[in-house]
Structures are given as C-alpha cells and as structure tokens.
A and B are shown apart, each in its own frame.
Chain A
Amino acid sequence: DAGVTQSPTHLIKTRGQQVTLRCSPKSGHDTVSWYQQALGQGPQFIFQYYEEEERQRGNFPDRFSGHQFPNYSSELNVNALLLGDSALYLCASSLRSSGRLNTQYFGPGTRLTVL
C-alpha cells in the first residue's frame, strides 16, 4: 500500500521565481493538506483540498496557491519566491468521509531553498 509521495525531494530557486511541488495521497484517501515547516518550528497549515476545491486556508498570502486533480493528487504553487519561503513543504492526506477523526498521514516532504 503506497503511502504519501512527494516530488521533487529537493529544490533550489532564486528570489522572484515560481515553484510547483507535487503530492500523491495515500491509496484510498481523498483529501490533501499542505504544510510549511521552517527550521526549528512545527509544521504550519497552508491549505486543504477536497473534491478539487480549496476548503480551508491557513495564514498564508495569495502567492501560495494549489490545485487538486480528479485522481486526488495535488500541486502547491508558490509565486514571487522570497528568502523566507525556504522550508520543508509537507503534504498530508486523509479520508474526509471517515468523519470527525481527522488523522492526516504525511509524505517525506520537499526541501525548498530560495537563494
């Protein structure tokens, strides 16, 4: 049973550029959430996608956008990169129809470095 997968593993960009990160959820899951983890901090919620729509959003600017495809996979796009966007980006999947128990399973992350 495949777990959550993310690509690429590492990425180096320069300020002002745009980046796209990809995520495939765990088999059977229909909901994808994205998190940003800065060094020494816990993951911070960016947004969540379900049925190809953004359902919830954390405190992140509009430069952060996403998409969910019919096969439940998802992309995270970040425009006009800033040095402060350097972080580990984590994707998590869950099964919304499982009800109140919102257990999310994480992928290995994409390490983004902005120079």
Chain B
Amino acid sequence: DQQVKQNSPSLSVQEGRISILNCDYTNSMFDYFLWYKKYPAEGPTFLISISSIKDKNEDGRFTVFLNKSAKHLSLHIVPSQPGDSAVYFCAASAWGGGADGLTFGKGTHLIIQP
C-alpha cells in the first residue's frame, strides 16, 4: 500500500513557465513533508520542506503548498529553468509517531523545454 503517491511519472514544461508537481498521501500520522530533486548518478538533494502546522513555505523560486484536509501537497517552481530538469521526489515523515524514516513517492520526471 503506497502511502505517498506521485501520480504523474513525467511532466514537460516550457522554460520560464511555472512547474507544478503534485503529491498525495494517505497516512494521517505524517506531519512533515519534504521535496527532493535527483539527477542521474547522484543522491537526492533536499529542496524544501513544510511542517503540518503551515500551509505554505517559500524559498526563492520554490514554494510548497500543503492542504491537510485533502492530504495533498504541491511544489511550484517559478520560473522554470533548464537546470530544473530532474526527478522530483515527495517524502513524508511521522516524527510525532516515532517513525523517523522518510516515506517517498515514486517520483516525477520534470523536463524543462527550451
């Protein structure tokens, strides 16, 4: 049973436009959410996170939105740049429940078209 779902395996966006990556979760114990970016042959790189006490967190071109009632979060990248082409993973943690391991989705491959 997949507790974190990224339903779009790939997404193609034009350079300069907004990229929106989506993630859904099922476990109500999750209270901390993270986005990672991964290039081939490298480990995941931490991008941005959000605690369940917030509904939005911004860091430069990256904004994460959390809708707890819908168990949904999204990552917005504005404006999209060629270097943003990578696989993006959504991850969740239930620290309060004592489960410190991150639960990941399967990833979305973002392709930025020039």
Contact = CB atoms under 8 A, between A and B. Distances in A.
Interface of chain B: mostly helix, strand, loop or mixed: strand
B40 to A, nearest CB: 11
A34 to B, nearest CB: 9
Contacts of B99: 56
B32 A102 contact: yes
Nearest to B4: A42
A109 B38 CA distance: 12
Contacts of A100: 31-32, 51, 95-96
A95 interface: no
B53 to A, nearest CB: 10
A28 B83 CA distance: 29
A101 B100 contact: no
Interface in A21-50: 31, 33, 35, 40-45, 47-48
B43 A106 contact: yes
Contacts of B106: 40-42
B96 to A, nearest CB: 7
B82 interface: no
Interface string A93-115: 00000001111111111000000
Contacts of B102: 33, 35, 43, 45, 92, 102, 104
Interface range on chain B (Cβ under 8 Å from partner): 20 to 34
Interface of B: 4, 31-32, 34, 36, 41-46, 49, 51, 89, 91, 93, 95-96, 98-107
Nearest to A109: B43
Given A31-B100, A108-B43, 11 more contacts: A40-B106, A43-B89, A45-B101, A56-B100, A90-B43, A100-B51, A101-B49, A102-B93, A106-B46, A109-B42, A109-B43
Given A4-B43, A103-B46, A42 B51 contact: no
Contacts of B34: 103-104
A15 interface: no
Interface in A57-98: 58, 90, 92
